[in-house]
Amino acid sequence: MSIIKFETIESKLIQYHDQFVIVDKDIAELYNVATKEVNQAVSNNPSKFPNGYVIELTKDEKTELVKNFDRFDKLKHSTVNPKVFTEKGLYMLATILTSEKAIQTTLNIIETFAKVKELSRNINAIMKTENKEKQKELAKKSNKILEEIIEIESDILADDEDSEVVETTTKFEFNLGFAKVSRSIKKIKK
């Protein structure tokens, strides 16, 4: 089973109004299923997806999505508007898609949502305060969150018994309130 890394999931999060969401096409790719299967799960279980859990984009929102993200270029000519899943929608999807890959992917998505939101709150707080001590405290907390993200990934990799991690590199970048985690992992077969 391949491991879905934090960076992969984080790159799929988009801001929709005031929350992070993942587009149905990206969810299907993460779960290694067709987009149609993800949307069928929603259609077949309407009581699990109340308003606000899954949102169908309008035609204008779809156009904006295609314009801002090259990976959605194929949606340009689609007659169907894509859906976006909120964090709650992903929780519900996890109760339907129950393969081992789906469960692991869902756990990784949920962890990513939680860490990105917490990190975002800290970065916003750093930018809003002029108190240097408070900024240092928040920066220290942000570093701890980044360490936790990497720890989650390391735990997942440790479960892969067929290979051994031979080298890891972790790089933290902070640029004017935006944090980025980059990690390279080289593995060899035992």
Q: Which residues contact 53 (CB under 8 A, 6 or more apart)?
A: 85, 86, 88, 89, 92
The pLDDT tens digits for 124-144 are 888 888 888 888 888 888 777
Residue segments in the chain with a per-residue pLDDT below the cut of 70: 1-10, 148-190
Q: What pLDDT does residue 131 have?
A: 86
User: CB-side exposure of 97: number of CA atoms within 13 Å?
Assistant: 27
Q: How many helices (H) and strands (E) does the chain have?
A: 7, 6
Q: What pLDDT does residue 1 have?
A: 41
Q: What pLDDT does residue 46 have?
A: 93
Q: What pLDDT does residue 163 have?
A: 52
Backbone angles phi, psi at 180, to 5 degrees: -140, 135
Rounded to an integer, what distance in angstroms lies between the CA atom of residue 145 and that of residue 118?
8
Q: What pLDDT does residue 115 have?
A: 79
Question: For residue 182, what are the β-bridge partners?
Answer: 171
